């Protein structure tokens, strides 16, 4: 991999986070405890996670011309991220995420309002084409439209820039997009949606991984929560145990993993070291509240 900057194409949200003694079921109302309004979005979180691990990051996305959008721009700028391709849109609100966190377990559930994220289009990607083509790595997720992601992946591949896709939130994927991915990083449930296969048993992740390689991804790294991670490409297969941590809030743990992994790759860390750093970053993030707020800095990781 060439050295240089990471381009993150993705979402920006305002996260409205409520911590509850138990998550409500359909039809139930529960009283919450602590409430926070924070900048988030998988794209923005992954950009910040990579920047905090030392990567030079350029962000491509969209926010509304509102308070949440201004907060997000200020936050990303303060993290040292280049936001010249973070478009501010009139007459559309910044994306939002309603996040309920189950206090005892730290698990969460999230509902999204797309807002400005739905307006990330191929024209915006074309404006960022030079940044993408000169990058060391392109990182994308699925909270912004697939057409824009596909366009960015095409530009990257034509320039020899590897493409990392975190297929979150889970949805069936366009074959053309999967075929343009160099590193696919799903969690268990995303891998299940992409393959239609269980990823729960001891050997099941291997089957799902083989299926994803068969669908055209050049390499796949499945994060398995408490069961660690599984990496595979045409020649290599690696399994790593999870790093144990006392989780109080798992929001953004996947973003911490992806950002740290991307930063390690562009610093030319060997694959096993990059996975280890990503696992450490994720295990720190779950011990803190919030998604972006919980992301680790390089100095915290041995």
Chain-centre distance of CA 197, in angstroms? 22
Cα separation, 6 vs 50, in Å, equals 8
Decide if residue 94 touches ligand RIB (CB under 6 A).
no
Decide if residue 79 touches ligand RIB (CB under 6 A).
no
* DSSP symbol at 113: E
According to CB under 6 A, which one of 19, 42, 52, 119 is a site residue for ligand RIB?
Answer: 42
According to CB under 6 A, which one of 106, 252, 275, 277 is a site residue for ligand RIB?
Answer: 252
According to CB under 6 A, which one of 45, 68, 94, 223 is a site residue for ligand RIB?
Answer: 45
From the list 39-47, 206-214, 231-239, 273-281, the region that binds ligand RIB by CB under 6 A is 39-47
Decide if residue 47 touches ligand RIB (CB under 6 A).
no
Cα separation, 129 vs 5, in Å, equals 14
Decide if residue 19 touches ligand RIB (CB under 6 A).
no
The yes-or-no answer on residue 91 being catalytic is no
Q: How distant, in Å, are the alpha carbons of 186, 195, 206, 234, 268 from that of 2?
A: 24, 31, 29, 21, 8
Omega cis (within 30) before 169: yes
Count residues contacting ligand RIB (CB under 6 A)? 15
Decide if residue 40 touches ligand RIB (CB under 6 A).
yes
The torsion angles phi and psi of 40, rounded to 5 degrees, stand at -155, -145
Measured from the CB atom, the residue of 115 and 162 that comes closer to ligand RIB is 115
Decide if residue 167 touches ligand RIB (CB under 6 A).
no
Q: Which two tokens stand for residue 67?
A: 């308070």
Catalogue the active-site residues: 255
């Amino acid at each position: 991999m060439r050295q240089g900057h990471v381009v993150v194409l993705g979402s920006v949200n305002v996260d409205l986070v409520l911590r509850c003694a138990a998550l409500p079921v359909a039809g139930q109302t529960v009283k919450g405890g602590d409430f926070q309004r924070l900048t988030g979005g998988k794209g923005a979180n992954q950009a910040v996670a990579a920047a905090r691990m030392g990567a030079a990051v350029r962000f491509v996305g969209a926010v509304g011309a509102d308070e949440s959008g201004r907060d997000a721009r200020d936050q990303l700028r303060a993290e040292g991220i280049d936001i010249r391709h973070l478009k501010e849109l009139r007459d559309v609100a910044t994306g939002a995420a309603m996040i309920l966190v189950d206090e005892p377990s730290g698990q969460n559930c999230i509902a999204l309002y797309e807002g400005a994220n739905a307006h990330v289009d191929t024209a915006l990607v074309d404006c960022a084409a030079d940044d993408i083509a000169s990058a060391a790595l392109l990182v994308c997720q699925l909270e912004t439209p697939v057409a824009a992601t596909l366009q960015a992946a095409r530009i990257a591949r034509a320039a020899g820039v590897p493409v990392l896709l975190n297929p979150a939130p889970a949805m069936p994927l366009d074959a053309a997009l999967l075929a343009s991915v160099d590193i696919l990083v799903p969690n268990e449930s995303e891998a299940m949606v992409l393959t239609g296969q269980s990823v729960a048993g001891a050997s099941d992740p291997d089957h799902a991984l083989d299926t994803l390689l068969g669908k055209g991804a050049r390499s796949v790294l499945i994060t398995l929560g408490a069961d660690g991670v599984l990496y595979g490409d045409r020649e290599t297969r690696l399994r790593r145990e999870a790093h144990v941590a006392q989780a109080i809030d798992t929001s953004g743990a996947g973003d911490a993993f992806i950002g740290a992994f991307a930063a390690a790759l562009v610093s030319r860390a060997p694959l096993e070291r990059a996975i280890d750093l990503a696992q450490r970053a994720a295990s720190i993030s779950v011990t803190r509240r919030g998604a972006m707020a919980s992301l680790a800095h390089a100095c915290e990781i041995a």
